[in-house]
Amino acid sequence: MAIKKIESINVIPFIDIMLVLLAIVLTTATFIAKGAIKVDLPKASAQSAKVEKPKDITLTKDGKTYLDGVAIDKNNLVSLLAQTPKETTIIINGDAKMNYEYFVGTIDTLTAAGYTHLSIATKKE
């Protein structure tokens, strides 16, 4: 039995596959680079819902409370948030060395007032 030597390789199927893969990569890369597909949105007579900016509450280790950077009395927190919709996100920035009871009390006060979209800010190590 004699072994037949291969003298050439047909590379045309390989080129076809590579061209298809290249077309797929180039098509998806344009969507990734822009982040979204551009569309021309239609006009409407009604206004869209206003998106509320998140509220920032800062709790310091010495027991001070700040609402959006302004020092407030912690007992007036709910009354100062009265005009804020209940669906607004509230970000709580708490000092790592503050009293845990003070932190839990603030969250309890906010949830009792009906604010359920609470986030706790942390720092990545």
CATH number of the domain within which 99 lies: 3.30.420.270
What number is the average pLDDT over the span 76-99?
86
- In the beta sheet, which residues pair with residue 93? 58
Q: Cα(13)–Cα(61) distance, rounded to whole angstroms?
A: 69
Gap between the Cα atoms of 47 and 105, Å rounded: 38
Which letter does DSSP use for residue 98 in this model? S
What are the residues facing 58 on neighbouring strands?
66, 93
Number of domains in the chain: 1
Which residue, chain included where needed, has tokens 């509450």? Answer: 57
pLDDT digits 0-9 by tens, 104-123: 989 999 999 998 888 888 87
Residue 116 lies in a domain: yes
* pLDDT score recorded for residue 38: 61
Residue 24 domain flag: no
Look at residue 61 and tell me if it is in a domain.
Answer: yes
Predicted pLDDT of residue 10: 86
Q: How confident is the model at residue 40 (pLDDT cuts 50, 70, 90)?
A: low
Q: Is residue 102 part of a domain?
A: yes
Contacts of 71 (CB under 8 A, 6+ apart): 64, 65
How large is the average pLDDT for residues 63-82?
87
- Whole-structure pTM value: 0.57
Residue 69's domain comprises: 55-120
Residue 18's pLDDT band (cuts 50, 70, 90): very high
Q: Return d(Cα 114, Cα 42) in angstroms, integer.
A: 36
